Amino acid sequence: MSATLIALALFGCSDDGSACERLSTPVQTYESRAECTARLDDALATEAALKAEAPTVYAQCLSNRQMASLGKGTVDLRRVNGVQFAAR
């Protein structure tokens, strides 16, 4: 088992991903990035993602360190290195 959990989080963003805020949904955690990545489309099909008042909703798999580096408030997801994401 890996010591680092991978979190799947949803973000409501501007179309280009430069101004994003995390949606107030529970963050799902997985033991591997592959496990998390397999759930990206499911996360975008949730009620929270579909009803978000944002031009674009991103689902991203982030390590604990990446989540912590985002902090709170508005974030620029284009600056999160090495992260695969899906958008609706």
> How far is residue 51's CA from residue 37's CA, in Å, rounded to a whole number?
22
The pLDDT tens digits for 31-50 are 999 999 999 999 999 999 99
**Are 14 and 55 in contact, with CB atoms under 8 Å apart?**
yes
Closest to 83 (Cα-Cα) out of 75, 67, 71, 74: 67
As given in the structure block, the two tokens for residue 85 are: 């994401």
pTM: 0.81
Q: Is 19 exposed, middle or buried (0-12, 13-18, 19+ CB in 10 A)?
A: middle
Written as tens digits, the pLDDT of the chain (88 aa) is: 446 789 999 999 998 878 899 998 888 999 999 999 999 999 999 999 999 999 999 898 998 888 887 777 888 877 765 555 566 6
The pLDDT tens digits for 25-34 are 888 999 999 9
**Residue 66 CB neighbour total at 10 angstroms:** 17
